[in-house]
Amino acid sequence: MSSSGHGGSLQGVVLVGGEGRRLRPLTDTRPKPMMELVDRPFVAHQLDHLARYGVDDIIFSCGYRPDVLREHFGDGSDRGIRLRYVVDPEPLGTAGAVRNASELIEADRVLVFNGDILTDLDLAGLLDQHVSRGAEGTVALTPVEDPSAYGLVRLRDDRSVEEFLEKPSPDQLRPGEPYLINAGTYVLERRSLDRIPPGVKVSIERDTFPLIADDRLLYGYPSEAYWRDIGTPASYLDAHLDVLGGEVRTEAPGGPIHLGPGASVDPGATLVGPVSLGADVRVESGARVARAVVGAGCRVGREASVEGSILGRDVVVEDDAHLSDLVVAGDGARVPAGRAISGPASIPTGGEPASVGANQGDVSG
């Protein structure tokens, strides 16, 4: 169990139970946290983030396809951490999922991560404020220009939570106030779990936090740190480009051009960074790869182009095919020669384009 360095022991809980419906068909065979982000599963970046702050006792609270997580991460020993799993028998909501993990929570407090948030939030600062205020719960907050699509969190001068406003209308906003929304990272004291009824669906945002706030024990932690919800195809694609461009701190390979082991680029091809090529990728003569992540074993054919896109493993982009703003997450997919496809969209295994998500753009070819 980790010591928080703030007067108590600390564990991490990562909520990885969602089905990722907005990312279908990308998530038909894997949970959203296991979608690749540059060179590793998305949730591995969250484990890296926790490890930077010495949190080495972590629980995955699972729902959809927990087997995929277990097979990849095991008990965490190869990463130098203790990693355990609980599986919700049915969707229990964000608070219910934390409560379901309570038998494995032995620490004085827990850091809870939503499993679809990419951030490099200062966890030490979050914990410092939590302890110094004597808080029962602390919610990381991120600023937005327009809170109408979110839930506004309004704070008092001491940063205690005054109220939550779900998708506020203009007349509910105060002139000059900061527009802060829940950033999906929380600190909870162990005793908070007693507020959550076991075995039923409970929302931490709508049900649990208001109870703690009513007792003046819930605080907000505003932060300008990088923050992105990867829940849509467009945001998932942008997250790759942000990682490649150094917009967020990760352990992924840095630099404008990264070549994995065995990757080969023909002298007549063009790479325009940021670009990451996985192991054994081949980029052939006349091809152009720009602002893209190309998974291990892929081939980009002669005179083909891949721009602003993500390719899964073993994807073949045949000669003179052109991809832009596209997620090709189906391992082994084949893009026919001469085809031009734009997105955001995906090509699942089998090679037939399929639109992803409502209003996320049409596939044309």
pLDDT single digits (tens) 46-59:
999 999 999 999 99
Q: Measured on CA atoms in the order 231, 232, 238, 244, is the torsion positive or negative?
A: positive
pLDDT given at position 273: 87
Number of Cβ within a 10 Å radius of residue 194: 10
Mapped onto helix, strand or coil, the DSSP state of residue 82 is strand
Q: By the 8 A CB rule, do 329 and 315 touch? A: no
Which of 1-5, 16-20, 81-85, 330-334 has the lowest average pLDDT? 1-5
The pair of three-digit structure tokens given for residue 288, joined into one six-digit string: 């152009």
**Residue 354 carries which DSSP code?**
B
User: Per the residue annotation, which of 52, 72, 167, 191 is the catalytic one?
Assistant: 167
Taking alpha carbons only, the member of 212, 210, 198 closest to residue 97 is: 198
Q: What is the arithmetic mean of pLDDT over 283-287?
A: 98
Q: Which residue has 């990728």 as its token pair?
A: 281
What does each C-alpha distance from 325 to 236, 237, 341 come to in angstroms? 11, 8, 9
**pLDDT at residue 226 greater than cutoff 80:** yes
User: Catalytic: 167?
Assistant: yes
The pair of three-digit structure tokens given for residue 299, joined into one six-digit string: 């081939």
- What does DSSP say about strands 180-189 and 137-143: parallel, antiparallel, or unpaired? antiparallel
Taking alpha carbons only, the member of 112, 126, 179, 177 closest to residue 150 is: 179
pLDDT given at position 354: 37
Of the CA atoms within 13 Å of residue 137, those in its CB half-sphere come to: 26
The pair of three-digit structure tokens given for residue 110, joined into one six-digit string: 């827990």
Q: By the 8 A CB rule, do 144 and 110 touch? A: no
Number of Cβ within a 10 Å radius of residue 287: 25
Mapped onto helix, strand or coil, the DSSP state of residue 255 is coil
The phi and psi torsions of 286 (rounded to 5 degrees) equal: 80, -5
Angle at 44 between CA 72 and CA 222, to 5 degrees: 150
**pLDDT at residue 356 greater than cutoff 60:** no
Q: By the 8 A CB rule, do 279 and 262 touch? A: yes
**pLDDT at residue 351 greater than cutoff 50:** no
Mapped onto helix, strand or coil, the DSSP state of residue 200 is coil
Q: By the 8 A CB rule, do 85 and 66 touch? A: yes
- pLDDT tens per residue, range 296-317: 999 999 999 999 998 888 999 9
Question: How far is the C-alpha of 323 from the C-alpha of 89, rounded, in Å?
Answer: 41
The pair of three-digit structure tokens given for residue 283, joined into one six-digit string: 């980029």
Q: Which residue has 């939030």 as its token pair?
A: 121
Q: Which of 18-22, 37-41, 168-172, 321-325 has the highest mean pLDDT?
A: 321-325
Contacts of 285 (CB under 8 A, 6+ apart): 266, 267, 268, 269, 302, 303
Q: By the 8 A CB rule, do 116 and 130 touch? A: no
Cβ burial of 101 (10 Å; 0-12, 13-18, 19+) is buried
Domains and CATH numbers, the chain: 2-232 (3.90.550.10), 253-342 (2.160.10.10)
